């Protein structure tokens, strides 16, 4: 049984560019949450998708958007990248309250 | 005030020692609590849930103190492989699937 998968593993972009990160949840999980983890910090909640809709959002600007597909996989899009967007982006899938994280995408903005 | 706070450490302990971490949370209405372990440059891995009655899994014991709004993690007989950062997660009362994480407590177990 595959766990949560994310792609790509690493990404380097320049300021102003746009990026799309992808996540496939654990089998049987229908909810996907996205987190941003800066160096030395805990994961910060970006938003959560359930039944293809954004169910909850954290304190992130509209430059951060997402999508969930009928197969429960999800995308995170970030527009107009800033240097401060450099972080590890984690996807977590869940069916009830326990969340399981994917390996993350490490984004570097130059 | 942050929703979840942890002592960043590091906690440097010898093998075989017992070590305990606390994590305080601000919203008394939170209902779900978890401990995660995160190795350097890896994703957090779920270590254990924290129940009102406490929870024990081998050398690890997690407890919840609702009156003082903190959760704890006790590790007995520390192993070198326990060296990692331990994150606590507390759910948001308005969405049981939205979690606030602490910044983590770093544990170094020395030979």
When pLDDT is cut at 50, 70 and 90, the band that residue B95 belongs to is: confident
Q: How far apart are the first and last CA of chain A?
A: 37
pLDDT score of B1 more than 80: no
Count of CB atoms within 10 A of residue B65's CB? Answer: 12
- Tell whether the torsion through CA atoms of A28, A30, B42 and B49 is positive or negative: negative
- Banded model confidence at residue A1, pLDDT cuts 50, 70, 90: low
Residues of chain B neighbouring A103 (CB-CB closer than 8 A): 42-43
User: Using CA atoms, how far apart are residues B90 and B4, in angstroms rounded to an integer?
Assistant: 7
Chain B interface, best mutation among A42, A51, A68, A90, by max B CB count within 10 A: A42
Tell me the C-alpha distance between A99 and B32, whole Å: 11
- Average pLDDT (A18-44) is 96
B29 Cβ partners below 8 Å, 6+ apart? B93
Using 50, 70 and 90 to split pLDDT, how confident is the model at B53?
confident
Quick one: residue B41, left, alpha or beta (phi over 0 = left, psi -120 to 50 = alpha)? Answer: left
Identify the pLDDT of residue B93: 82
Regarding beta strands A87-94 and A99-101, do their DSSP bridges make them parallel or antiparallel, or are they unpaired?
Answer: antiparallel
Give the DSSP letter of residue A96. S
User: Which pLDDT score, from 0 to 100, does residue A67 have?
Assistant: 96
Q: Determine, for residues B43 and A98 on separate chains, whether the beta-carbon distance falls below 8 Å.
A: no
A33–B98 CB contact, under 8 Å: yes
Q: What is the pLDDT of residues A77-92, one digit of tens each?
A: 999 999 999 999 999 9
Do the beta carbons of residue B109 and residue B39 sit within 8 Å?
Answer: no
Of the pLDDT bands very low, low, confident and very high (cuts 50, 70, 90), residue B61 is very high
Q: Could you tell me whether strands A105-109 and A10-13 are parallel, antiparallel, or unpaired per DSSP bridges?
A: parallel
């Amino acid at each position: 049984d595959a766990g949560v998968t994310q792609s790509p593993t690493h990404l380097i972009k320049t300021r102003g560019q746009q990026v799309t990160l992808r996540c496939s949840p654990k089998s049987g999980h229908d909810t996907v949450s996205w987190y941003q983890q800066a160096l030395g910090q805990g994961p910060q909640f970006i938003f959560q998708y359930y039944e293809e809709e954004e169910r909850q959002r954290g304190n992130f600007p509209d430059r951060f958007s997402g999508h969930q597909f009928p197969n429960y996989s999800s995308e995170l899009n970030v527009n107009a990248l800033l240097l401060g967007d450099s972080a590890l982006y984690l996807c977590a899938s869940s069916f009830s309250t326990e969340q399981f994280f994917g390996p993350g995408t490490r984004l570097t903005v130059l | 005030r942050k929703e979840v706070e942890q002592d960043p450490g590091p906690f440097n302990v010898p093998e075989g020692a017992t070590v305990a971490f606390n994590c305080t949370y601000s919203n008394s209405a939170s209902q779900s609590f978890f401990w995660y372990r995160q190795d350097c440059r890896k994703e957090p891995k779920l270590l254990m849930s924290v129940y009102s009655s406490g929870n024990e899994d081998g050398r690890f014991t997690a407890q919840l103190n609702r009156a003082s709004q903190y959760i704890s993690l006790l590790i007995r007989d520390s192993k070198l492989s326990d060296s990692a950062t331990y994150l606590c997660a507390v759910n948001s009362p308005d969405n049981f699937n939205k979690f606030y994480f602490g910044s983590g407590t770093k544990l170094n177990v020395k030979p």
